[in-house]
Structure 1
Amino acid sequence: MSDVITVETAAQPDAAIIWMHGLGADGADFPPTLPYLLLPESLKIRFLFPNAPVRPVTVNGGFEMRSWYDIISMDNGREINSHQLDESIIRINKMVDDQIEQGIDAQRILLVGFSQGGAVAYETGLQGSSSIGGIAAMSTYLPRLLSSLAVTAATSLPVLILHGTYDEVVPLTMAEEAKQQLKQTGFDPEFYEYAMAHEVSVESLKTLGSWISQRLSK
């Protein structure tokens, strides 16, 4: 399998969305959901779905799976391998830079991530060297305290948080904590709850699609 699955909605895209999958999944997880976004046909988007490396995951008994970083413990939020997270951030930042080099304006690049992929989207967008157009965080959490990071993003950066009220993998309280940290840092995230577990729903995808349209129809 390629390191990145690419889906383009037009011959010459002028926008890019880098969408990170969750723990144990892969880049093929989300391309089938694109029709549910109900995006305008006028948008010319390059969707990029990178695959995380295969590595042992401690909380899953050391079983090897695609993972953006090792999760050592689920106690008190998450205990993670920060070095591996930083490697993933460097990789996604490189993808952002590559899109800019190909002529796409940084403000027309969005980061989307589900669960562990959302954690990578958060930290990449908040610490990136380029002023991207927004972060969509789905069923996820902030893996490290914002106060411990070198946050470089302008507080005007659009942030969308989508979460299930029945999520037992990443409890709703972790999404609320992320929202609170963002607000304390000066950001103004949009926050939506859905009657779902650790998953996406048609309703949540419609919200994501509307947010993408707002960001890119300018």
Structure 2
Amino acid sequence: MFKEWRRRRAVRRVKPGDGRALQRFRWWQLPFRALFYLRLTHEEGRRTVYAVDVRHGQNQSSGRVRAHLYLDGRHHAECRLPAAFPVQGGIVEVSMSDFGLRRCHYVTADGTEFPLEPDPDSAEGRRARLDRAHPALSRGIGFLSALVLVTALALLVPQLVGPLTQVEAVSRHVGTFTSPVRLPTWLNIAIGLATLAASTERALRLRYSRLLDGAAG
């Protein structure tokens, strides 16, 4: 129920496009642009190509990140994230995490979901190409990313919780907690950087876990 209400609310925010042409992906846009495609075939055999273009150089929390929907190469609609674009046969949902795209999926009328296809020149497209060319290596990288996040969760969270319980208003209700983990500053920084890399890698595959990636953010 809540998910459907949130989807309808996102659809109401969609604004019509201005018809401008879709710009090709440039290599220097790798860190801050995502471009995905949805190719649909009509009953009469005619094909329609939707493109979702997101310039995510700014964090979503600023409220200024927008997704742009192109239809056959022309600007069709736009919406601030999270976005839900009505398209042929369903809705395209787009949302972000702190590390990149969290979701870019086509949801059909019967609820079936399909991730959109990334542009081959984008960071997401290059990661997908690695997965196709070297599946074993790709699985290893994915496993390592998850392992890094689990390890960071186990090491960093106790160190953060400890000082919070020293606050009188908190300790009065839950008591105090002394972290069994005390790492030097340089190691905490290194773990933080590894966590950033792991979460970014997962975002390139549109992988998101509220526990792992949400805690990292």
- TM bin, normalised by shorter chain, reads under 0.3
**Pair member with larger Rg:** 2
What TM-score do you get using the length of structure 1 for normalisation? 0.21
